[in-house]
Amino acid sequence: MAFHDVSLPARLAFGSTGGVERRTEVVTLGSGYERRSTPWADGRRRYLIGANLRSLDDMATLTAFFEARRGRLFGFRFRDFADFKSCAPGSAVGPGDQVLGAGDGARTVFALGKIYGEGADAWRRIVRKPVEGTVRLAIDGIETTAFSVDSATGEVMLQSAPAPGARISAGFEFDTPVRFDSDRIEVTLESFEAGRMAAVPLIEIRI
């Protein structure tokens, strides 16, 4: 998939709106009961940015970023400040935030992920775009630095395989891979130094 490993400037994300979308197919039977199913295993996030921008310089920055991505053609990183950590947004990242798996004596590669909910109904989001330099990792609760991170895939590579049954956990910050969901940007010039921009839609992409 066409993806540029660059981030939308953070100041352009403030004031954005958006969140997760699920797709549920509901069939109402003649009895009034419902049958519900979903073709999606994972949620998909949508955002609107730019509507609060007033500075012509910021609008020019967003327009330049849009042009460099060729509109909808190339994906990029977006920081969702409501959900960008392995922990709560207001907490500090720790190496025990999220369980990645258990050792088997041979496996050295683990995928980063974040759990939403609890118990049997919990859902695990695969994190493919961790922020470089933010990943912390622990084995059985003891932090280690003997690992590397592929920031393009979200995989953690340990230098040696953890012992069978060892608990592998991690903490991290991450970006959401998105693309523009329009091939058009509209700007209204209101004065020589200020303007107004129509909201620009973004949509999460699967990579």
Q: What is the mean pLDDT of each run of 10 residues along the chain (207 residues)?
A: 93 90 95 95 94 86 96 97 96 98 97 96 96 97 97 96 98 98 90 82 96
Cα(204)–Cα(99) distance, integer angstroms? 24
Its domain, for residue 162, covers 85-174
> Do residue 80 and residue 181 come from a single domain?
yes
> Do residue 194 and residue 150 come from a single domain?
no
> Do residue 26 and residue 106 come from a single domain?
no
> Do residue 95 and residue 150 come from a single domain?
yes
Q: What are phi and psi of 158, to 5 degrees?
A: -80, 150
> Do residue 144 and residue 72 come from a single domain?
no
pTM as predicted? 0.91
> Do residue 110 and residue 80 come from a single domain?
no
Query: Looking at residue 196, what is its pLDDT?
Result: 84
> Do residue 179 and residue 161 come from a single domain?
no
> Do residue 105 and residue 126 come from a single domain?
yes
Of 200, 198, 176, the closest CA to residue 187 belongs to 198
- Total count of domains within the chain: 2
The three-class DSSP label of residue 158 is strand
Query: Looking at residue 4, what is its pLDDT?
Result: 97
> Do residue 99 and residue 165 come from a single domain?
yes
Query: Looking at residue 32, what is its pLDDT?
Result: 93
Neighbours of 125 (CB within 10 A): 17
